[in-house]
Structure 1
Amino acid sequence: MRLSAAIADLLQAQRGHLFPWTPVFLGTGIGAYFSLKSEPGWAVYAGLAAAGLLLALLAVQRRPLAFLCWAPAFAAAGLCLAGARAHWVAAPVLEFRYYGPVEGRVVSVDRSPTDALRLTLDQVRLDRVPAAKTPARVRISLTGQDAVPPPGALVMTTAHLLPPQGPAEPGGFDFRRHAWFKQLGGLGYTRAPVLLAGAPGDSVPVERLRRAMAQHLQQRIPGETGGFAAALTAGDRSGVGEQTLTALRQSNLAHLLAISGLHMGLLTGFVFAAVRVLFCLVPPLALRWPVRKLAALAALAAGAGYLLLSGGNVATERAFVMVAVMLGAVLLNRRAITLRAVALAALIVLLRRPESLLSPGFQMSFAATAALVAVFAALRDGGVPLGPGWLRPVLALVISSAVAGAATAPFAAAHFNTLPHYGLIANLLAVPVMGTLVIPAAVLALCLLPAGLEGIGLTVMRWGMDWILGVARTVSGFEGAVSHVTAPDSAVLPLFAAGMVFAVIWQGRLRLAGLLPAAAALWIWSGAVRPPVIIASSGGLIGVMEAEGRALSRAKGQGFTAEIWLENDGDAASQPEAAARWKVRDGALPVWHGTGVRLVHAPGKRKLLQASNCKEGDIVVSTVAAAVPAGCLVLTPDILRQTGSIAVRPDGRLLTARAATGMRLWSGWQPEGPEVRRLRRLLGAAAASQ
């Protein structure tokens, strides 16, 4: 009884501050769903729904301890919600490599990480593939083609398509899961021309408007500045080259390229202030009408228009929800910027797209927003002076940049394996220009567009964007501008987030206890150990750890996989540099001795024939199947499709992508055959003998 009373008193002290925990527990359930190794059955969902409903009823009846019942109820709801969403978006996925005619409607145009233009098609038709097994959407990279069909156009080409691939290494980013929620059932490329099979219809008017505006901006503003303008206004990054993207990332200014909370906040803030000032210039209107609420409505309409024009991606949608919640608070005469508003925005986003919990954008944007609200609330409640009036905006900008950078840095480092060191300087030089020059000039250009005078606004906008790109290139060129970080274990980010969430939301001195799990997470991260051996799921690349870093079996080919491995190692070397680290070769074949086995890489039929001298216990990795001595174990693509990418842990045990991701709706693993069981036995015996 005493314990129950103590808990009730503790929770009573948090009265009025418990709502921000709602998206936390909902997100806990969503995260639990994605961490499962097998898909829950309908009986599990029914049981969780019943348990959640019972807990909700208990929470209503036992008010002193209601929070203890609401927490698992929302967690159960989050797991059921994520499962329902995963089944709702289910669509066919290619089961084989396809080469042949592809027809479809263009729904979006973007660029790949290798700077190639890509088309995303729906209404897909494939030769000799039944409609029931045809993907809802496919994405095709264009090779050597400058003319891009507009959104809404029906096109045809001849393309190579593959099903979405699993993680590049066990425990890594699962692109299959990402593609599942985007209903992408096939990805590939074409070297053939893309032909128009039909004129653009009226089914994707917003996409056509976005494309037309992007092209107009790139025609009026030359060079990559025009591409930056198109990305800023229409969400079209196809005009921004890879070097510019790299400079923006290394200077921590990449967030200016993505239409997110900063852009939405600057735009709606400018519209809110401008409309309010215009009304105040007419005293009869200012005295009779609710000017503040009318300005909020105008800002909300501007934000909604920006959401549509930008393509409505997840990041922009999330930013609009946050802004809409805050402007709604203005309309209801409530304080706009509070943790409750941030929590409500997070709740809406998670209810709409539960999978966004796993995205870097969700984690970073809400981490930054919650940290900013908490810090400025503490400064306000503590009566901390920010100096004279002329100095306050400068100090507010410095504090905002420092707090947002510190809050997002662990998430950015975990997802992108880089840590910019001069991001604060770059943001202090660039963000004010974005807010005072670029965004107002963009609004001015839009207002003057019907009169054909948009050039005035575009000129001013170009000056600001040239300055921002110049800052990015200069800062990214500083010596030691970026350090590379080893990828953390899977438990690090959840533990860090849990600690920081408690520190931000909980009221009272006990909130400092949240710093302990956050510090523990960083300590675990500092001791992260990378696997000594990684084998690509295609069999086309092997990476082994040497004293100077990861050594790769090939200097060319499998470049995307090589880049991910090196990034996760925190290694800045290029693929040719990493390939030069390989120490032992048997003729033309890379050979590695370690963890009690002899590992040989023989990609291609000719090189596999050169491995004919392999012995009992040897493991040969190849991209083809061919006859070899009976004692060898040859890992061919057919075998690797059963396991996915393979890692050998420091203790010599085997870890496969299949084991790391489990059997989920999106995984598509084939049943394991005897070769995989033999591989486990072989590595297990070698580890036991060491």
Structure 2
Amino acid sequence: MRFFVLAFVLGTCWLQQQPVLPEASVAWLGVAAWLAAAMVPERARQWRVIAYAAAGLCVGIGLASWRAQVRLADALPPEWEGRDIAVVGVVASLPQVNERGTRFAFDVQSVETPGAVVPQRISLMSYVSRGDAAPSLPVVAGQRWRATVRLKRPRGLANRHGFDFEPWALERGLRATGYLRSKPAPVLLEARVEGWPYTLHRWRGEIRESMASHLGEDRFRGVLIALAIGDQDAIAADDWQVFWRTGVGHLMSISGLHITMLAGLAAALAYFAWVRVPWLALRWPAIKVAALVGALAALAYALLTGFAVPAQRTVLMLTALAACVLADRHGSPSRVLAIAALSVVGTDPWAVLASGFWLSFGAVAGIFYCVSLRTGALGKVRAAAMEQLAVTVVMAPMLLALFQEVSLVSPLANAIAIPLVSLVVVPLTLAGAFLGLDSLLDAAHQLMAWLMVPLEWLAELPGGVFESHEPAAWTVACALVGCAWLLAPRGFPLRPFALVWIAPVMVILPPHPAPGEAWIDVLDVGQGLAVVVRTASRSLVYDTGPAWNSESDSGNRIVVPFLRGEGLRHIDGLVVSHADDDHSGGAQSVAALRSPEWLLSPLAADDPLHEMVDVSRMCRVGQRWTWDGVTFEVMHPADSSYDEPRRKENDRSCVVRVASGGASMLLTGDVEARSEAELLTRGTSALRSDVLLVPHHGSRTSSTERFLDAVAPSIAVVSLGYRNRFGHPNEAVAQRYVQRRLRLRRTDLEGAIRIVLPAGDAARVESIAPEPRYWSDRTRVPR
């Protein structure tokens, strides 16, 4: 059984890494292998194991392939991207509101545009204000609307060490994204549509509104709402930062821990009551009743919180455990864990792509391993300490692999927070929210306020969070072996040698430029620009991409995770080419989280970014510096540009030329024709570069013929968003590059791109985006 499940999970993992789906019929090979295993004699145990493992591998691959084929078949055809489509459908999720508008899932019931094909479930945005979009609507779950929408296929931002939206959307069945059009205006057809999941989400929305109305502007309103109904978006960014730095973020949402502890509480109460009625206890064993009640309580809580995918995984794990108890198949911990893994992955083959899957099973496996190998009864305090030790040790290499950071104060923070939040705050919040007892909500809020005092103190401790690069997969596997060695019972031989297994995860560093060489990474930030320039020992960020809302921007979601994953804990310099949001939107996040030594920009004197760095200089032509044999030179703007208050921000862009001994690249920001002409007046020879970052994302206002002739690049790279509303790159501009036999390397099609400027050789371009998998429309670039 265990070998079958292990192979099943590994087969599913392999499938999710493939660029093309294999045939689902491979599952029948697994069935044949299972039948063959059943006929192998008991004495040939090794052949039985091999046959069961082969069966699990084939069934895992085949089942996951079949599920993926079914999900991918429900797709938006490419020819219907960006076109107006009239649809009728129902709001199918709890709407999420921010300053830009309202986002919600929408179940399409009918398509009124002739010939149009639309997936069954899509994600829509109702914007607060946008030229062609309908004004933000008071959307409520369970409403039926007729609306004209403009859609595109799911498309994420393809960068290393970052969040991948496409598999996340695929797992949730969201097969297109888009927004409501203003003409014709959306029409509400029916205010209340009953059924799954509309009634559930409407009820959750009513509870959210009731809690928000009572708690008002109280600081931890968002935390309590998240604990009650699973809406994490209401938690303030500053509070999330504290929770993350102290390692208790899992407690401030509907985590597996909360569901498990609530199920355990319900099971304990059921057992306590059942054994006190003798005739019931004789008819049905109390332990089985408790297991059933616990599983039902877990299901009820998960439903109340929206039955999100992580909650579904927890419910399946607990259901598998309850099934073992009901069937009198208590068995070993590994068998129970195997059954849980089989139920989770068999139901949701995309679960293996989620960090929560590995963290949940890793933590439980660590606890089972640590506790089950000890003999004798453990006291409650010692058992709790052993469990915390096991979780901390096992999770450390996994957290480094998944997030590249580990909270060193997490054991202490969790020792304080877990009992208070799970056993007191959550029950008070649920009782207050669902029974309408406002005094209980007030008590839960006060407890959260008291809890935040030690958490904030721990979060501010220097060195409280350990950061590292993204380790290679083999070093993580070695580290897990070392952790198991460390957690082995007393008397296990050669325990210090466990550190030899753990060491590679820390000391095997990612590659970096050689002396005299520069790596210029153009990240995929959508419609914007963010570039990381590295030499052998220095690093610089040129532009930081757009901001999406007050709490989320390219800086904290893309640039900083990329720097962290590459092992760059701080940067030497930050260049912001100009003040437009698509170039400067993430600058404050980068400055706050990576502490650049200096800032170079044309930003206004009152811009708050100046106060976030020790040294801030205005960008001026002629500035020059050299790092590790690589020369940086500012080519624009001139001093006189700052005396022209009516000059466009684009024409004040800070242009930087980076040159190694063998090649050079021109970073152009958003310069337009006027700036290009000014650059030409200062001498064309100085502009000549092997690689050109296409000005202004390929806008028709830039890339003039004379400018391209002066730069004379052999490679052109353009950063832009997929199906952006500006129509970049302009067709006529793109043709100018084609006429010069230049291929445009586009981040919207390829993802993040690296330009290598060697010390004594020609420039070359490499893709540093994750390999496209079967669900992706991105261009596959030879590595």
TM range (shorter): 0.7 to 0.9
Give, in whole Å, the separation in 2 of the partners of 1:496 and 1:415: 14
- C-alpha contact 1:551 1:580 (8 A) present in aligned 2: no
User: Which segment is superposed worse, 604-613 or 320-329?
Assistant: 604-613
Against the structure 1 CA distance between its residues 77 and 517, is the aligned structure 2 distance closer, same or farther, given a 3 Å change threshold?
A: farther
Which of residues 82, 85, 106 is equivalent to 1:98?
A: 82
Which deviates further from its counterpart, 510-519 or 219-228?
510-519
CA distance in 2, matches of 1:244, 1:115: 21
Distance change >3 Å, CA 149–CA 429, structure 1 → 2:
same
CA distance in 1, matches of 2:151, 2:34: 48
Q: Which moved more, 1:246-255 or 1:576-585?
A: 576-585
The structure 2 residue matched to 1:553, chosen from 542, 563, 584, is: 542
Give the equivalent residue in structure 2 for 1:441. Answer: 428
1:261 counterpart letter in structure 2: G
Kept in 1, the 8 Å contact 2:18–2:774? The answer is no
* Alignment map for 1:210-221 (pairs within 5 Å): 210-221=204-215
Stretch of structure 1 that moved more, 130-139 or 190-199: 190-199
Deviations 1:637-660 (A, max 9, x none): 7x54543332347987643367x5
CA contact 1:418–1:482 (8 Å) conserved in 2: yes
Query: Take 1:460 and 1:114, find their aligned partners in 2: how far apart are those partners?
Result: 30
- How has the CA–CA distance of structure 1 residues 336 and 195 changed in structure 2, closer, same or farther, with 3 Å as cutoff? farther
Give, in whole Å, the separation in 1 of the partners of 2:84 and 2:500. Answer: 53
Kept in 1: contact 2:407–2:465 (CA 8 A): yes
Aligned equivalent of 1:49: 28
* 1: CA distance, partners of 2:296 / 2:36: 39
Q: 1:33 to 1:575 in 2, by over 3 A?
A: same
- 2:61 corresponds to which of 75, 79, 82: 79
Q: Does 1:613 align with 2:702?
A: no
Match for residue 647 of structure 1? 754
Q: Does 1:199 align with 2:191?
A: yes
Query: 485, 492, 497: which one pairs with 2:468?
Result: 485
1:598 touches 1:619 (CA, 8 Å); kept in 2? no
Distance 2:149 2:5 in 1: 43
Q: Structure 1 residues 470, 281: closer, same or farther in 2, change over 3 A?
A: farther
SS at match of 2:315: helix
| Secondary structure in 1 matching 2:61 | helix
Question: What residue in structure 1 maps to residue 767 of structure 2?
Answer: 656
Paired residue type of 1:666: W
More off after superposition, 605-614 vs 71-80: 605-614
Q: Structure 2 unaligned segments of length 5 or more: list them.
A: 130-134, 548-552, 572-585, 602-631, 637-653, 667-692, 721-728
Change (3 A) 1:459 1:555: closer
**In structure 2, distance between residues paired with 1:471 and 1:148:** 39
**Residue 34 of structure 1: CA displacement?**
2.1
Instruction: Choose which of 450, 472, 476 in structure 2 pairs with 1:467.
Output: 450
Q: Deviations over 1:576-604 (max 9, x none)?
A: 64694794333232333349432233224
Q: 2:401 aligns with which of 406, 414, 434?
A: 414
The separation in 1 between residues aligned to 2:167 and 2:107, in whole angstroms, is 19
The secondary structure found in structure 2 opposite 1:553 is: strand
Deviation at 1:186, TM superposition (A): 3.2
CA contact (8 A) 2:522 2:719 kept: no
- The 2-side partners of 1:67 and 1:482 are apart by 43
Cross-structure match for 2:678:
none
Higher helix share: 1
Shift, 1:331, TM fit: 3.3
Distance, in Å, in 1 between the alignment partners of 2:41 and 2:399 is: 42
Contact 1:489 1:528 in 2 (8 A): no
- Given the two structures, how large is their TM-score scaled by the length of structure 2? 0.70
Give the C-alpha shift of residue 413 in structure 1: 2.7
- In the alignment, the residues of structure 2 paired with residue 199 and residue 375 of structure 1 have an alpha-carbon distance, to the nearest angstrom, of 54
Structure 1 Cα separation of the partners of residues 254 and 544 of structure 2: 37
Instruction: Give secondary structure in 2 for the equivalent of 1:592.
Output: strand
- Name 1:9's counterpart in structure 2: none
What per-residue deviation string (whole Å, max 9, x for no partner) do you get for residues 21-66 of structure 1? 33321111112112233332x3xx4456336624650463143221
Q: Distance in 2 between matches of 1:413 and 1:243?
A: 23
CA contact (8 A) 1:170 1:646 kept: no
Match of 1:666 among 775, 780, 783: 775
Equivalence for 1:89: 71
Shift of 1:293: 2.9
Between the aligned partners of 1:320 and 1:458, the Cα distance in structure 2 is 26
CA distance in 2: counterparts of 1:69 and 1:438, whole angstroms: 49
Matched-pair contact (CA < 8 Å) for 1:110–1:117: yes
Alpha-carbon spacing, 1:636–1:649, altered in 2? closer, same or farther (3 Å): closer
User: Which residue does the alignment assign to 2:231?
Assistant: 236
How far did 1:668 drift? Answer: 1.5
1:362 partner SS: helix
Instruction: Identify if the C-alpha distance between structure 1 residues 181 and 60 changes in structure 2 by more than 3 Å, giving closer, same or farther.
Output: same
Asked whether the equivalents of residues 264 and 319 of structure 1 are also in contact (C-alpha less than 8 Å), the reply is yes
> SS state of the match for residue 154, structure 2?
coil
Of 162, 167, 170, 1:177 maps to: 167
Q: Helix, strand or coil: the match of 1:35?
A: coil
Note if contact 1:137-1:186 (Cα within 8 Å) is conserved in structure 2.
yes
Q: Report how far residue 304 of structure 1 moved.
A: 1.7
1-structure distance, mates of 2:289, 2:100: 44
Question: Contact (CA 8 Å) 2:482, 2:498: kept in 1 or not?
Answer: yes
The CA deviation at 1:375 is 0.6
- Following superposition, the deviation at residue 231 of structure 1 comes to 1.3
Distance 1:520 1:668 in 2: 39
Aligned to 1:423: 410
Change (3 A) 1:648 1:636: closer
Tell me which residue corresponds to 1:154: 144
Cα offset, 1:356, TM superposition: 0.5
CA contact (8 A) 2:246 2:455 kept: yes
Deviates more, 1:427-436 or 1:133-142: 133-142
CA distance in 2, matches of 1:344, 1:119: 35
Aligned CA distance change for structure 1 residues 125 and 548 (closer, same or farther; 3 Å): farther
Structure-2 change in CA distance of 1:235 and 1:428 (3 Å): same
2-structure distance, mates of 1:72, 1:292: 36
Shift of 1:347: 0.9
Q: CA deviation at 1:239?
A: 2.2
CA-atom RMSD in angstroms? 4.2
Q: SS of the counterpart of 1:584?
A: strand
The alignment status of 1:165 with 2:149, answered yes or no, reads no
Q: Which residue of 2 aligns with 1:313?
A: 308
Amino acid at match of 1:519: I
Match for residue 61 of structure 1 among 28, 40, 45: 40
- Could you say if the C-alpha distance between residues 172 and 246 of structure 1 is closer, same or farther in structure 2, counting changes exceeding 3 Å? closer
CA distance, structure 2, for counterparts of residue 515 and residue 653 of structure 1: 42
**Structure 2 residue identity aligned to 1:608:** S
Aligned with 1:28 (options 10, 15, 30): 10
Q: Could you tell me how far 1:563 is from its partner in structure 2?
A: 4.1
Post-superposition shift, 1:180? 2.7
Deviation at 1:311, TM superposition (A): 1.5
Higher mean C-alpha deviation, range 59-68 or range 521-530: 521-530
DSSP 3-state at the match of 2:108: strand
Per-residue deviation, 1:358: 1.6
Q: Which runs of 5+ in 1 are unaligned?
A: 1-18, 387-391, 681-690
Q: CA deviation at 1:303?
A: 1.5
Q: How many residues align?
A: 637
Q: 1:122 is matched with which residue?
A: 107
In structure 2, distance between residues paired with 1:513 and 1:595: 47
Matched residues in 2 for 1:118 and 1:257: separation?
A: 22
SS of 2:234 mapped into structure 1:
coil
Structure-1 separation of matches of 2:86 and 2:231: 24
Structure 1 residues 93 and 366 mapped into 2: Cα distance closer, same or farther (>3 Å)?
same
Shift of 1:521: 5.8
Alpha-carbon distance in structure 2 between the residues aligned to 1:195 and 1:425: 54
Distance 2:503 2:58 in 1: 27
Q: Is the counterpart of residue 565 in structure 1 residue 562 in structure 2? A: yes
